[in-house]
A and B are shown apart, each in its own frame.
Chain A
């Protein structure tokens, strides 16, 4: 068990993070959504508390309890007023160590999760991102829907949930972190209590292969009626945190779309007023993740905006970034870094994530130095090596009948667009 502690008496607040290596990639085929349901079930009753007693106790002690199931990791978090730390730790031990998996509660939760899937159809951006990931990571666990589908949820049984929690929530799979008004000794004692509450058994291994890039350019269109605006995500594969060129690509991506004065913002928003937001991102996980560009122009501007973004991406790849742009991005990343570490919970989160995602142990410690050391050659080589504009996915939420043809025409080399209804599973 790894325990990280970041002490600060500035506020009477303690954050506790309990993480487990393994997430929705462990969902069995046909039972997508299982890990998320399993993690949510741990607060739905224990040997000594009903689900409602857990919720009442969380509120009564001045705490906030959260559970999360990501692709490669799962976690439970608690913020608690300092005076209730002991009660908070006791509650965490109870929910993590003795969930009852009540059948009736599971039924309620599954029906709730089904309704959430229906409600998620109102989120145009969420629909777009999901279509993007499903297409980019086709055949890879990252492409599966972490919240499941109505059909997959209906196949989940109580035993599935018990087994899934058993695969994840174990003593040897636990990463713990404490931040705030808690000293190292108090945190160590709390960590012992939490660890002792968990079963001592081996967790399921987490094996996630690197994804393969898409074959050619692909357009996936989420068709929704009456859209005055579109949501657009364009991208391909990015990097892994272990790649030598990860930080150089991150710096180059900052030039493209990481700030308010980035190329994307200048061209899409400032010059043309097409989209309120325009940005690029390069997330990290246990293996190579996505590289994404996001905009949301009016429907009338969607095809022109897609064409412009592709041009910008191609120019970025062909010509790279300039020395001046690079220096600006580096300075921005280095100076703004102060806000990555300005609270105890942010500081501990970095060490927590390092263990949870198997990042290089010095990933955060050396981050600033690696930014500083990034040369123009390294940044531009990273773009050329990692960004393949001929193997990209364009995902759009909009009204296909009104703009589908124009958007497809704006993407040279794209095959027949894949059109899916917004309420299609």
Chain B
């Protein structure tokens, strides 16, 4: 698909000033870092993502959008928590925190100070497959961001004292997101139960005992192994001149050498053959349930139909499960369903919160009844159209800001290798038919054993099962 777009775009742009500039960048002389232009992917009716690759392997994706004088600069690394070794969980996330501290020639705190002085909003996120860092800046400050980010990719300084202090911050983050948060706890247990071999079993934030044992050496090793130009993608979206940014990025990152990336010790998850369940007791007023069914990878042909099917079941107040459990039977206060957007096969997650006087078991029975219906018979055409319209609205809203565009482009490039993947995904949704959703329902909801985590009100001791 991308190849077709490339050739079409190349023909239509032949002879423009920009193309001549791209050609010049691509043929820089010996000893000089060059950026090779690899084509442009259309991004909706008005925009396009220009793709470049530096000689050191760094990939650069640029989408000019002059609707506001701002720009988003995202740096995505193809490394997440699934790449961590046993006993070292939380390392990818801890390193993300440390990447805001000290660099050669830049004392701790100076990175943030310069960014804020520029009016930038800066942050980062780590998940199972990837880690990304972003700056949203006034367009006039983009040059400074390029310089600082280039330094951050290769000149991190890791000192024990800083690492120890940041470990405390991460431990507190874990308390905030997991220990003292019922939903966070349930989600963590669900993945830990559902996956027995694959790295998705471990929480991205890490197990508390692992976090507390991480060292500066661990972080340095992880940084040297994965934070390399040939494992990164830079996405720039907003108000800038493409060729000028290519030039600046090429110059700023030219000092970095590619590394030999390790072969991932990937352990495919074996089929789940039996139901797995666990019951926790927490100080919550009502029962909660998290159900998981092993689902498709993001690139699987059934991911789009299953996503739409989940929307028919759980998306919005007109959805089947919401209508049945929340509105008509009044046994739940909240229902959610989601297909994980992971590079490898993940889970279809279902989360339910009971009303007072109703049990987790009632909710599970009710959801299973609804799942059985979509396995038995196709959903209605009206339901399909509603789900498609909701998906379209969600995507358009994501694209309102340059940060939203950069995030979509970076995510799809890292997970699917397609910077225009969001647009392709929209087209795929439009092509989904009822039969596709029935096939997906039978493949994933039919005889697949569930993983179920239940929370009952209590004092925190585990009931176990």
Q: Which residues of A contact B (CB under 8 A)?
A: 8, 10-13, 51-52, 55-56, 58-64, 79-81, 108, 111-112, 115-116, 118-119, 121-122, 124, 224-229, 259-261, 266, 269-276, 296-298, 328, 331-332, 334-339, 341-343, 345, 422-423
Q: With A62-B389, A64-B393 as known contacts, state yes or no: A335 contacts B109, CB within 8 Å.
A: no
CA distance A52 to B315 in the complex (A): 14
**Beyond A52-B323, A119-B286, A334-B119, is A296–B386 a contact (Cβ under 8 Å)?**
no
User: Which of A63, A227, A260, A334 is the most central at the interface, judged by chain B CB atoms within 10 Å of its CB?
Assistant: A260
Which 10 pairs across A and B sit closest by C-beta, in order of nearness?
A: A335-B119, A273-B168, A62-B389, A229-B175, A55-B318, A336-B119, A342-B68, A59-B386, A276-B173, A115-B333
Query: What is the bound-complex CA distance between A11 and B47, given in angstroms?
Result: 11
Chain A residues whose CB sits within 8 angstroms of the CB of B283 once the complex forms = 224-226, 422
Q: A79-B397, A118-B333, A260-B112 are known; give 11 further A-B pairs, CB within 8 A.
A: A8-B67, A52-B318, A79-B393, A112-B333, A119-B285, A122-B182, A122-B183, A261-B112, A261-B116, A334-B119, A343-B400
Contact residues in A for B118 (Cβ distance below 8 Å): 335
Docked CA distance A75–B448 (Å): 45
Min CB distance, A182 to chain B, in Å? 14
Q: Does B70 contact A (CB under 8 A)?
A: yes
- Give chain A residues whose Cβ lies under 8 Å from the Cβ of B183: 122
Note all chain A residues with C-beta closer than 8 A to B399.
11
* Interface status of B392 (Cβ within 8 A of chain A): yes
Given A118-B285, A342-B70, A342-B401; A59-B318 close (CB under 8 Å): yes
Which residues on the B side are within 8 Å of A273 (C-beta)?
164-169, 172
Distance, CA A336 to CA B136, complexed state (A): 9
B175 touches A298 (CB 8 A): yes
Contact A10 B382 (CB under 8 A): no
Q: Is B180 an interface residue (CB 8 A)?
A: yes
Task: List, in ascending order, chain A residues with CB within 8 A of B401's CB.
Answer: 342-343
- In the docked arrangement, what's the CA distance between A273 and B167, Å? 8
A259 to B46, CA, bound (A): 35
Q: Which listed residue, B68, B286, B460, touches A338 by the CB 8 Å rule?
A: B68
- Of all chain B residues, the one with the shortest Cβ separation from A56 is B318
- Assembly CA distance A79 to B121 (angstroms): 26
In the bound complex, how far is the Cα of B411 from the Cα of A137, in angstroms? 45
Q: In the complex, A11 Cα to B323 Cα: how many Å?
A: 32
The answer to whether A261 touches B113, judged by C-beta atoms less than 8 angstroms apart, is yes
Taking a contact as CB atoms under 8 Å apart, the answer to whether A11 and B396 are in contact is yes
Find out whether the CB atom of A60 lies under 8 angstroms from the CB atom of B119: no
Chain B neighbourhood of A260, CB < 8 A: 100, 112, 116, 122
B128 surroundings in chain A (CB, below 8 A): none
Chain B residues positioned under 8 Å from A226 (CB to CB): 282-283, 459-460
Give the shortest distance, in Å, between A66 (CB) and chain B (any CB): 12
Judge whether B330 and A108 touch: CB under 8 Å. Answer: yes
B382 close to A60 (CB less than 8 A): yes
Most B Cβ at <10 Å: residue of A55, A116, A337: A55
Q: How far is the CB of B373 from chain A (nearest CB, A)?
A: 17
Binding site for A on B (CB under 8 A): 46, 65, 67-70, 100, 108-109, 112-113, 116-122, 136, 138-139, 141, 164-173, 175-176, 179-183, 282-286, 315-318, 323, 326-327, 330, 333-334, 353, 355-356, 382, 385-387, 389-390, 392-393, 396-397, 399-402, 459-460
Cβ 8 A contact of B389, one of A59, A112, A331: A59
Which of chain A's residues have a CB closer than 8 A to the CB of B356?
A: 115, 118
**Hey, which chain B residues are within 8 Å of A335, CB to CB?**
117-120, 138, 141
A275 with B180, Cβ < 8 A, contacts A108-B330, A342-B70 known:
no
> With A11-B399, A108-B330, A272-B165 as given contacts, are A81 and B389 in contact (CB-CB < 8 Å)?
yes
Bound Cα distance A386, B392 (Å): 48
A335 to B69, CA, bound (A): 11
Do A275 and B172 touch (CB < 8 A)?
Answer: yes
**List of B residues within 8 angstroms of A119 by Cβ:** 285-286, 333-334, 353
Q: How far apart are B56's CB and chain A's nearest CB, in angstroms? A: 30
Jot down 22 A-B pairs with beta carbons below 8 A, ordered by A.
A11-B396, A13-B397, A55-B318, A56-B386, A58-B318, A59-B316, A59-B390, A62-B389, A112-B333, A124-B181, A225-B283, A226-B460, A228-B175, A273-B169, A332-B119, A335-B118, A335-B119, A336-B119, A339-B70, A342-B70, A342-B401, A343-B400
Expressed in whole angstroms, the minimum distance between the Cβ of B47 and any Cβ of chain A is 9
Is A296's CB under 8 angstroms from B138's CB?
Answer: no
A61 to chain B, nearest CB (A): 7
Cα(A334)–Cα(B326), bound, Å: 46
Residues of A within 8 A of B112 (CB): 259-261
Residues of B with C-beta under 8 A to A55: 316-318
What residues on B are CB-neighbors of A121 within 8 Å? 284-285
Chain A nearest Cβ from B352, distance in angstroms: 12
Given A228-B175, A338-B68, A345-B400; A269-B330 close (CB under 8 Å): no
Residues from chain B with a CB closer than 8 A to the CB of A331 are 117, 119
In contact, A336 and B120 (Cβ under 8 angstroms): yes
Which residues on A sit within 8 Å (CB–CB) of B171?
298
Cross-chain contact B285 with A229 (CB below 8 angstroms): no
A119–B356 CA distance with the chains assembled, in angstroms: 9
A10-B67 contact, Cβ under 8 Å, with A108-B330, A271-B165: yes
Residue of A nearest to B170 (CB): A276
In the complex, what distance in Å separates the CA atom of A422 from the CA atom of B284? Answer: 10
